[in-house]
Structure 1
């Protein structure tokens, strides 16, 4: 598959596009999000269109409509991850809970990154057993 470019779309164009792709039996490959250097939310939707990866980009939105009712699990995990890691909400998304961050995380400060062995030691002290891993 080749990437054949990025198409910028508005929030209002997202659902009609997703419905069109679904009706044409196009596969949602992946969604991802990031905050650009100017502080804008960017969410991209990558579709397989006849062997080509077509990327659609929504930029600068704090809310987007969910597409989980159209693409099911292919979209749900991505939307949950993006909304947990970025200041963006997907309207209508039924979240299953935190994927990565602790429930008490309020979004301030930095996320602690540490070696997995150190993390296992901390969790073992909390009674979690990792002996079979």
Structure 2
């Protein structure tokens, strides 16, 4: 079984940590982001460390340094995706354009990501109790 560890860091610690991971030949597995219950941005960086996943989270920042200068395309796609769906910018990210949403997107009709308990409140009453 693999071990998982997540450590909260500041945005100022991100670049030195990422450089160390790259120097140690640690693979950037994926990055993801979400907005927590307090409305704060959270960006997670997941690295393969000897077969285990070691994650680092940066919480509460609207602007985070890009790690594309270190992890190139592995980081670029993730950073572009995160900043397209969240109110966050990656300093130094050279965006290639929108990945999913149209350029003229104004935020109306935005896809909402909600916990299952919240989504259940929107389910049509006539569908309640029906098996699929």
**Same fold at TM > 0.5:** yes
Q: CA deviation at 1:110?
A: 2.5
Aligned to 2:23: 23
Establish whether residue 92 from structure 1 lines up as the match of residue 115 from structure 2. no
Cα distance in structure 1, aligned partners of 2:3 and 2:103: 37
Establish whether residue 38 from structure 1 lines up as the match of residue 38 from structure 2. yes
Cα distance in structure 2, aligned partners of 1:80 and 1:5: 25
Q: CA deviation at 1:2?
A: 2.1
Establish whether residue 110 from structure 1 lines up as the match of residue 114 from structure 2. no
The alignment's C-alpha RMSD in Å is 1.4
Unaligned ranges ≥5, structure 2:
113-132
Cα distance in structure 1, aligned partners of 2:49 and 2:110: 37
Establish whether residue 78 from structure 1 lines up as the match of residue 78 from structure 2. yes
Aligned to 2:122: none
Aligned to 1:60: 60
State the secondary structure of the residue aligned to 1:93.
Answer: coil
Figure out how many residues of one structure are paired with residues of the other and give that number.
112
Unaligned ranges ≥5, structure 1:
114-133
Cα distance in structure 2, aligned partners of 1:3 and 1:15: 24
Cα distance in structure 1, aligned partners of 2:109 and 2:47: 33
Distance 1:3 1:61, change over 3 A: farther
Q: TM-score, normalised by structure 1?
A: 0.80
Answer whether contact 1:45 1:57 (CA < 8 A) is retained: yes
State the secondary structure of the residue aligned to 2:104.
Answer: coil
Answer whether contact 1:9 1:56 (CA < 8 A) is retained: yes
Q: CA deviation at 1:17?
A: 0.4
